[in-house]
C-alpha cells in the first residue's frame, strides 16, 4: 500500500482508505472488518456518521497493533464551539486514546466559528491526541483565512472530487501550500460516472473494472482516496489498484469527463447542523 507524507512530523497516510458514510453502526463493523481483512489500513469516519463505535469494534476485532491502523474522524458542524469536548466524545466512542487524523468536517462560514475550532484542533494535536489535523470541504477562501490566522497549516483537505468534478484549482492551491488532497465520493457515489463508456473502454484495455480505473486515476494524481462499499467483493476490488498504470492518454481521457457536476452541497453556503 502506498503512503503519502503529511506536512506534520513525518506522519504517513495510506493513500487508499475505506469510507463509511451512510453505513449504520453494525453494518460498519462488518464492512470495516472485511476491509481490514482485505488489506485496508485506513478508515474514514465522522461524528455525523453515527458509526464510530462500530469502527472501533472492528479495529479491536482485527487484532491489528494500534500503529498499523490509520483512523480519521471529524468534528461536526454543531460542535465548532466545543471542539475539545466533542473530540473526547469521539475518542470514547471509538474506544481509542488517539486518532491519526482529526478534521473539521465543514467550514460553515455563516456560523463563523471554524477559526475557533481550528485553535482547539491545534491544542489536540499538541497534546498528542491526534497525530495530524486537517479540514474538509474548505474552499480557497476558507483555507486562505485559516493559514493566515492559524499557527499550524492543515495537513489535508478532504473534498468532493471525482472525474466529473476534478477540483483542479483547489488541488493546485493545496499543492502550493503543502496540503494533501483527499477525495470524497471518489467514485461519484457509484452513480452515472461508473457507466461512462470512456471508463468501459479503459477497463477493457487494462483488464480492470471502471471503479478500479477511477481509483487508479486518483492514485496517479496524488490524491488520498476513501471509496465506500458494503459489498465484500467490491471492498476487495477497490483496493486492487496498485498492480497497473494508466498511460498519459488514459489520464487525459478520464480528465475529459469533467462536466462540473457537484454531487454534494457547496461548502460556501452549507450550514446544516444535523
Ligand atoms: P463513493 O464515491 O465512494 O461511492 C460509493 C458507492 O459506489 C457505493 O455505495 C456503491 O454504490 C458504489 N461502488 C463502490 N464500489 C464499487 C465498485 N467496485 N463497483 C461499482 N460500484 C461501486 O461515495 P461516498 O460514500 O459518498 O464517498 C466515500 C467516502 O467519502 C464516504 O464513505 C465518507 O467516508 C467520505 N465522505 C466525506 C464527506 C465529507 O463531507 N467530508 C462527504 C461524503 C463522503
Q: Would you say 268 and 72 are in contact if contact means Cβ atoms under 8 Å apart? A: no
DSSP state of 271: -
Whether ipTM > 0.95 holds is yes
Distance from Cα 91 to the centre of ligand 1, integer Å: 24
Burial of 161 (0-12, 13-18, 19+ CB in 10 A): buried
228 lines ligand 1 (CB under 6 A): yes
Clarify whether 49 is annotated catalytic: yes
Quick one: average pLDDT of 72-96? Answer: 98
Distance of alpha carbon 24 from alpha carbon 251, whole angstroms: 35
Interval 3-41: pLDDT, tens: 999 998 899 999 999 999 999 999 999 999 999 999 999
Interval 187-243: pLDDT, tens: 999 989 999 999 999 999 999 999 999 999 999 999 999 999 999 999 999 999 999
Q: Is 105 annotated in some ligand binding site?
A: yes
Domains, in order of start, for the chain: 3-190+222-228 (3.20.20.100)
- What is the gyration radius of the CA atoms in the chain, in angstroms? 18
34 lines ligand 1 (CB under 6 A): no
End-to-end CA distance of the chain: 35
Strands 12-14 and 3-5 turn out to be antiparallel
Residue 274: how many other CB atoms lie within 10 Å: 10
Residue from 40, 49, 102, 114 carrying the catalytic annotation: 49
Q: Would you say 174 and 217 are in contact if contact means Cβ atoms under 8 Å apart? A: no
Q: Nearest-5° angle of CA 249, CA 254, CA 255?
A: 90
194 lines ligand 1 (CB under 6 A): yes
Amino acid at each position: 500500500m502506498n503512503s503519502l507524507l503529511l506536512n506534520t512530523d513525518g506522519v504517513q497516510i495510506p493513500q487508499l482508505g475505506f469510507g463509511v458514510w451512510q453505513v449504520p453502526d453494525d453494518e460498519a463493523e462488518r464492512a470495516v472488518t472485511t476491509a481490514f481483512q482485505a488489506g485496508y489500513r485506513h478508515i474514514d469516519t465522522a461524528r455525523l456518521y453515527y458509526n464510530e463505535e462500530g469502527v472501533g469494534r472492528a479495529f479491536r476485532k482485527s487484532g491489528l497493533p494500534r500503529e498499523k491502523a490509520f483512523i480519521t474522524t471529524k468534528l461536526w458542524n454543531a460542535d465548532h464551539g466545543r471542539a475539545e469536548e466533542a473530540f473526547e466524545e469521539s475518542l470514547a466512542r471509538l474506544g481509542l486514546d488517539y486518532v491519526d487524523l482529526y478534521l473539521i468536517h465543514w467550514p460553515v462560514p455563516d456560523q463563523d466559528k471554524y477559526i475557533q475550532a481550528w485553535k482547539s484542533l491545534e491544542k489536540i494535536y499538541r497534546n498528542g491526541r491526534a497525530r495530524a489535523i486537517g479540514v474538509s470541504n474548505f474552499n480557497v477562501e476558507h483555507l486562505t483565512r485559516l493559514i493566515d490566522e492559524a499557527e499550524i497549516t492543515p495537513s489535508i483537505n478532504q473534498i468532493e472530487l471525482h472525474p466529473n468534478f476534478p477540483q483542479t484549482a483547489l488541488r493546485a492551491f493545496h499543492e502550493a501550500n503543502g496540503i494533501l488532497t483527499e477525495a470524497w465520493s471518489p467514485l461519484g457515489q457509484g452513480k452515472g460516472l461508473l457507466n461512462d463508456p470512456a471508463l468501459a473502454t479503459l477497463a477493457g484495455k487494462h483488464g480492470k473494472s471502471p471503479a478500479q480505473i477511477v481509483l487508479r486515476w486518483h492514485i496517479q494524481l496524488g490524491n488520498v482516496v476513501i471509496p465506500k462499499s458494503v459489498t465484500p467483493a467490491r471492498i476487495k476490488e477497490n483496493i486492487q489498484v496498485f498492480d497497473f498504470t494508466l498511460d498519459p492518454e488514459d489520464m487525459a481521457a478520464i480528465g475529459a469527463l469533467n462536466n462540473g457536476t457537484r454531487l454534494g452541497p457547496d461548502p460556501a453556503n452549507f450550514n446544516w447542523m444535523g
